[in-house]
Amino acid sequence: MNAIIITALWGVIMMFGGVFFKKSTTPKFWAIAGIIIVLLANLFEFFGHPFFNVDTKGMLKFDSFGLHFNTIAFICTLLFFLLNGKDFEKIGMHVSEYFALMFFVLCGLSILSSFNTLLLLFLGIEILSIPLYILTGSDKRNLKGNEAALKYLLMGAFSTGILLMGIALIYGGNTLGSFYIDAINLGTGNLPVLIAGGLVLILVGISFKVSAAPFHFWAPDVYDGAPAVVSSFMMTIVKIAAFVAFFRLFQTSFGAMQHQWQMLIVVITAATLLIGNITAVFQKSVKRMLAYSSISHAGFMMFTLFALNDTAKEGLLLYAAAYSIATIGIFAVIIKMSDYSIEGFNGLGKKQPLLALTAVIFLLSLTGIPLTAGFTAKFYVLMAAVKDGHQLWLVVLAVICAAIGAVYYFKVIQAIYFKDPVPGVNDEINVSSSFKFLLVVTAALIILLGFLPGLLIDWIYY
Amino acid sequence: MLGTYYTFPELLIWIPFITGLIAIFIKNEKSVKMFALLSSIATLVVSVISLCYTDVAAHPEFFYYNNVSYVWMPYIGSSFSVGLDGMGFLLTFLTAFSYPLIFAATYKSEYKNANAFFALMLLTQAGIMGVFVATDALLFYFFWELALIPIYFLCSRWGGEKRIAATFKFFVYTFLGSLLMLVGIIFVYVHTAPVTPDSAHSFSINAFYNAALSSGQQDWLFWLFFIAFAVKIPIFPFHTWQPDVYEQSNYPSVMVLSGLMVKMGAFGVIRWILPIFPAAVAKYEHLVMALCIIGLIYASCIALYQNDLKRFVAWSSIAHLGLMSAAIFAANELSLQGVMLEMLNHGINILALWIVVDIIEKKTGVRKISQLSGLAGKSPALAIFLVIIAFANIALPLSNSFVSEFLMLNGLFDFNIWFAVFGTIGIILSAVYMLSMVQRTFFGKANVVAEQAKKMSAGQGIVLFALVVAILFLGIYPEPVIHLTQSTVTDILSKMSLK
């Protein structure tokens, strides 16, 4: 509850603060202070000291999994604000408002990690999405950004509609007539028609949100068209929030009859992995390549829904953290450049050795090389799938796709270290030493999680 | 004593790892070279001392000098466990022995960013050592990949014009292979019984040996593991990356790749495939051995027509490894004993061959066989060395390979006479291509290139001398090596028969 209330409040503060903040750097400090307060408040609740005792009639349920996920998401957001705080000024004039919108997104995220009824699931997804429609188009003079925003709004509205229809069917179909996800205990018998229909519609609706194929079409255009700062946020924190909601719903309500709908997940996972990875190979812009790669990572995270066991739970949190930290890191580097093409990275190793080194660590982590968080995360989700014991070919397909992933991530690494710089491209990259320090901290986090994943996982069982 | 405070396998990993990290910060080229050489000598010293503590049967306390286990990820049943057995001693010694020779033989070579070069070389050594000593499947996988990453950067950064594409092919091949192996590792893991109460399953190698796997499961697990190792060795038809990489890379990296990293593949088959999937091995060994023998004959024929010395050595290496892998899958006492010996011998011979090729290229500036002639007149010492090395490569009696190839062919003969027949044809072919290379480059009339050749440095002379002494010593008295690895061979064979 702490996180939900404080993020909403802080969003309002940031919004009105825009009127009073004189200097353009002030909003950044307020935002960082806000996220630290939210993080601390969430930790207090995690250790058993909620500040607010609101009777939600059981509609929200704060368990250690959800609160732990909040912590991860807030730490990622903190890193994101610290690394990219300055770059918000590139988007436009209303820096304070952008931060305000992000706090509203975080409010939606906190609801999604603790909802216990389908109504709050819907509410959470809407609170999460609406600020994003605005943020995507926040660079008003950029035509690509406008197109992306419109596309995202239409597609998003469409998918929420489908999701709502699914919720209605589930409500009508279960004998209790209940919205409570833990009450919709369907047993292990055959799926009734209404429930089955509702389940498929919900699956489609959330697949849109996590950009799983074949509902991924908006993702590359939106991630590519939105300002780089915003796409970094959308690809990471927003996407993992949708995944946690997905996982929560499916494990609680439909887990018992998992093997009746597992095949749907199998198809979605296989399609997502193949489309994301193969298309990413042919991209010339690193930003767009990362957009496709984010689809492929969604494919890996789908494995947790496929397996729905304890390892999957651990794997989801680990993957969320590993993927978010690495993506935020690599985007922080990209944003400092003016040319996003792969050639733009040529010779970065000579121009900016430290930036290059950290970028390579982030890319290695996204590839899934041991000793980086990306490896332990992939290892856990694959282990969850193997433990489930069904459809092992899917796991083999996943590792083949991971090898394809190496192709496009290593293109960038090759450009950074083995090619000579192109004159006139990305010549002036100015970064402060505090930025460099933060990048090193981010890279260190990646490596730390790479050989001690227990630091993160153990808290689930706190 | 060394082993009582820090066990030998730990030292063998951490010395190159830590010195590798330090080497990054030594900007001066000369100092970093000296530093790397000293580090590799320190590792060699540790390895030699460890060889004094191999006799566990007579002294049970030696076990604790050579095996150690630390808590790492108890919640999934993985620990940082390392240990040395006969094969481990042999291969860690080969690694420790090769590195100082590689550094000394290429001491005069100059590199841009020498600090990064030597740091990556030492990190590779740490990874290779880790593969040979890991007794935990997940740890093994970690080191397996960690050896790959630095060598990828080494080969891509320093080398010929087409190095980036060639190395990348190598990387994607091996990365895909390792990921398939990872799936296999996870699957076996899920079928293990717990060793510690913390976790439902275990990654320890003994748990893997006892995993309950039906023969149907073994059938496809075998291929998941096999592809990873086959790419590394390489076994036909997974060999296509090798000639390009060897041609394009710098010499020290190639020496590491061909002398040491291919042993990782052979080691993997012996340690992980044979005892864990014996039923699948029995089912597929004919197929795999046929591939190995095809590779042997095919690579030998191609080696006959190679004009580039580096590609020549690459193909001859594929041929030798074909015979070696066939012998591994024959899996009887003679053949496995031969393989143990051959792993050491091949490491020594190919290292010597690369050093000779490096010297030729440095002296004359070319490495095309057609452009070289009559080098012997200018450098008689090098000619003598090369002839002895060539004899070792074609397994002439008194040279080291004679003993090992004799044992391997004996083993193949016991298994199936036809494999032995074709194996012998492979050896005859190796005599043809090897001797014709020596003849064309070193004998005959000296041409312009040979006239302008520079002298070989003293360091290179000493290194080659040391290698030639090793070749002759192992040819005359291979007993210590056989004695060292005897226990591993019987152990593996008994594990295979138990299942």
Chain-chain contact of B182 with A382 (C-beta, under 8 angstroms): yes
- Quote the minimal CA–CA distance from A41 to chain B in Å: 29
Q: Which residues of A touch B74 (CB under 8 A)?
A: 454
pLDDT of residue A187: 63
Question: Which chain A residue has the Cα nearest residue B142?
Answer: A370
| Smallest Cα distance from B234 to chain A, Å | 19
Residues of B in contact with A375 (CB under 8 A): 145
Helices (H), B192-277: 205-209, 215-232, 241-248, 251-256, 262-268, 274-276
Strand partners, B78: B73
- From the list B481, B471, B478, the residue with the least C-alpha distance to B101 is B471
Residues of chain B with Cβ-Cβ distance to A403 below 8 Å are: 172, 175-176, 179
**Amino acid B439: pLDDT:** 87
Contact criterion met (CB < 8 Å) for A406 and B171: yes
Which ipTM value was assigned to this complex?
Answer: 0.92
Q: Which residue of B has its CA nearest to A368?
A: B179
* CB contact at 8 A, B174 and B166: no
Question: Which pLDDT band, with edges at 50, 70 and 90, does B100 fall under?
Answer: very high
Identify which of A370, A396, A417 has the shortest CB distance to residue B142.
A370
Same domain, B245 and B293: no
Same domain, B84 and B134: yes
Q: Do B306 and B165 belong to one domain?
A: no
Q: Where are the alpha helices (DSSP H) in A60-192?
A: 64-84, 88-91, 95-112, 118-136, 143-173
Q: How many whole angstroms separate alpha carbon B49 and alpha carbon B200?
A: 39
Last residue of a domain, one of B276, B302, B317: B276
Nearest-5° Cα angle at B420, B417 to B423: 155
Same domain, residue pair B343 and B231: no
B257 and B113, same structural domain?
yes
The whole-angstrom distance between B221's CA and the closest CA on chain A is: 11
Q: Where are the alpha helices (DSSP H) in A137-257?
A: 143-173, 193-209, 218-225, 228-233, 239-253
Out of B257, B276, B295, pick the residue that ends a domain.
B276
> Looking at beta carbons, which residues of chain B come within 8 Å of A452?
73
Clarify whether residues B358 and B229 are in a common domain. Answer: no
Q: Looking at beta carbons, which residues of chain A come within 8 Å of B75? A: 454, 457-458
CA angle A443–A447–A452, rounded 5-degree value: 145
Of A244, A340, A254, residue with least CA distance to A301: A244
pLDDT reading at B449 higher than 80 = no
pLDDT (tens digit per residue) in A77-123: 999 999 988 888 888 888 888 999 999 999 999 999 999 999 999 99
Q: How far apart are CA B111 and CA B117, in angstroms?
A: 8
Contact list in A for residue B168 (CB cut-off 8 A) is 410, 414
Kindly list the distances between the CA atom of residue B288 and the CA atoms of A81, B182, B271, B351, B414, in Å, as whole numbers in the listed order.
56, 21, 17, 27, 17
With b for 16 or more beta-carbon neighbours within 10 A and e for fewer, the B443-475 pattern comes to eeebeebbeebeebbeebbebbebbbebbbebb
Interface of A with B (CB under 8 A): 364, 368-371, 375, 379, 382-383, 386-387, 389, 392, 395-396, 399-400, 402-403, 406-407, 410, 414, 417-419, 451-454, 457-458
For A128, the token pair is: 């999460």
For residues B269 and B360, membership in a common domain is answered with no
Cβ separation B153–A379 shorter than 8 A: no
**Span B298-309, mean pLDDT?**
90
Residues of A whose CB is below 8 A from B190: 383, 386-387, 389
Span A215-241, pLDDT tens digits: 888 999 999 889 889 999 999 999 999
- State whether B168 and A370 contact (CB < 8 Å): no
d(CA B420, CA B293): 9
Tell me what the pLDDT averaged over chain B comes to.
Answer: 88
CA-based nearest residue in chain A for residue B201? A387
Contact B168 A410 (CB under 8 A): yes
* Averaged pLDDT in 10-residue chunks for chain A of 462 residues: 91 89 84 94 89 86 90 94 86 86 94 92 92 90 89 91 92 79 72 86 90 88 90 92 91 83 91 93 91 93 90 92 94 87 85 90 93 93 89 91 92 89 76 90 93 85 75
Contact A346, A412 (CB under 8 A): no
d(CA A247, CA A144): 33
When computed from its CA atoms, the radius of gyration of chain A, rounded to whole angstroms, is 21
pLDDT computed for residue A186 by the predictor: 67
Any idea what DSSP says for residue A137? T
- 């995202």: which residue's tokens? A152
B272 and B291 assigned to the same domain: no
Candidates A382, A400, A454; nearest CB to B73: A454
Q: How far apart are CA A181 and CA A235, in angstroms?
A: 27
Shared domain for B301 and B160, answered yes or no, is no
Q: Tell me if A386 and B187 make a contact (CB, 8 A cut-off).
A: yes
Question: Domain residues for B77?
Answer: 1-276
Tell which of A300, A311, A372, A399 to mutate to test the B interface (max B CBs under 10 Å): A399
pLDDT tens-place string over residues B238-287: 888 888 888 888 899 999 999 899 999 999 999 999 999 989 998 998 99
Helix-helix angle A64-84:A433-451, to 10 degrees: 150
User: A368: which chain B residues are within 8 Å (Cβ-Cβ)?
Assistant: 179
Structure tokens at A33: 């202070």
In angstroms, the separation between the Cα of residue B157 and the nearest Cα of chain A is: 6
> Which chain B residues have a beta carbon less than 8 Å from that of A342?
none
Residue A390: closest C-alpha in chain B: B187
Q: What is the 3-state secondary structure (H, E, C) of A361-391?
A: HHHHHHHCCCCCHHHHHHHHHHHHHHHHCCC
- Final residue before a domain boundary, out of B223, B251, B276: B276
User: Residues 6 or more apart from A36 whose CB is under 8 A from it?
Assistant: A78
Whether residue B186 and residue A369 make contact (CB cut-off 8 A), yes or no, is: no
Is B142 in Cβ contact with A371 (below 8 Å)? yes
* Disruptive mutation site among B158, B186, B192, B224 for chain A (greatest number of A CBs within 10 Å): B186
Contact call for B176 and A400, based on CB within 8 A: yes
Whole-number Å distance between alpha carbons of B95 and B261: 9
User: Does residue B16 carry a pLDDT above 60?
Assistant: yes
Please tell me the distance from the alpha carbon of residue A251 to that of residue A313, in angstroms, as a whole number.
10
Are residues B340 and B321 part of one domain? Answer: yes
Residue B298 pLDDT greater than 60, yes or no: yes
Q: Which residue of A has its CA nearest to B191?
A: A387
pLDDT at B112: 83
Confidence of residue B499 (pLDDT cuts 50, 70, 90): low
Q: Which residue of A has its CA nearest to B217?
A: A392
Cβ-Cβ contacts under 8 Å, B187 against chain A: 386, 392
**A383 contacts on B by Cβ (under 8 Å):** 76, 186, 189-190
Number of domains forming the structure of chain B: 2
Question: Is B145's CB within 8 Å of A370's CB?
Answer: yes
A209 and A125 in contact (C-beta within 8 Å)?
Answer: yes
Question: Phi and psi for A16 in degrees, rounded to 5?
Answer: -75, -25
Nearest CA in chain B to A386: B187
Give the span between the Cα atoms of B42 and B29, in whole angstroms.
Answer: 20
| Cβ neighbours for B296, distance < 8 A, ≥ 6 positions apart | B319, B322, B323, B326, B422, B423, B426
* Chain B neighbors of A371, CB-CB under 8 A: 142, 146
Same domain, B215 and B193: yes
Alpha-carbon distance B310 to nearest alpha carbon in chain A (angstroms)? 23
Residues B350 and B367 in one domain: yes
Closest chain A residue to B80, measured at CA = A451
Q: How far is CA B497 from the centre of its chain?
A: 27
Give the pLDDT band of residue B3 (cuts 50, 70, 90): low
- E strand or H helix that includes residue B78: strand B78-83
Q: Residues for chain B: how many in total?
A: 499
Q: Which residues of B touch A (CB under 8 A)?
A: 72-76, 141-142, 145-146, 149, 153, 156-157, 164, 168, 171-172, 175-176, 179-180, 182-183, 186-187, 189-190, 224
Please, which pLDDT band fits residue B343 given cuts at 50, 70 and 90?
Answer: very high
| CA distance, residue B190 to nearest chain A CA (Å) | 6
